[in-house]
Homo-oligomer: A and B are copies of this chain.
């Protein structure tokens, strides 16, 4: 894709300011919590003007969404490991590790909450976060299907709903994270092949 955009006139966006804003947002939300996080506060902490924040991000949730990518490794492994069970386990271990990363769980809870309030942000959050992780899991299930290594009636979409349902329900409703027993139970639930016998 060639650069069809104008070749950038005037002063260029300050990368330093961008990082200062993202860092300030992430720190502030851990300190005061998402509800008391304000654009004014972020700008002040970053030594930036409010307008600079508004110029590049539409809401504080979007700042945080970008800050999250800066702070936490959002990548998830989808490498072919030979069996559905192994790949599912890798995925769940990755997910549990992400949630255990300092500050990540509260930020995700806040972003999911914000997504309920703001329909525009909901779309950005879905496309920029939820669907990416979902796609990884669906890839795994479909690869298993191709292998014949999967319960018959389990579609990728339904499996994703069950897995992410459990993860998010734990975050949002019970404030407990996934532990080894949960992962084992989930794997058992999704990999048993009752119809095969």
- State whether the Cβ of A166 lies closer than 8 Å to any Cβ in chain B: yes
Place the interface of chain A in its size category: 35 or more
Q: Does A164 lie within 8 Å of B169, measured CB to CB?
A: yes
What residue of chain B has the Cβ atom nearest to residue A34's Cβ?
Answer: B117
Interface of chain A: mostly helix, strand, loop or mixed = helix
Question: A82-110 toward B: CB 8 Å interface, digit per residue (1/0)?
Answer: 00000000000000000000000000011
Known pairs A110-B117, A117-B110; A165 contacts B158 (CB<8 A): no
15 extra A-B contacts, CB within 8 A, seeds A161-B182, A168-B169, A168-B173: A35-B117, A110-B117, A112-B116, A113-B113, A113-B116, A115-B173, A161-B166, A161-B170, A162-B162, A162-B165, A162-B189, A165-B168, A168-B168, A168-B172, A189-B189
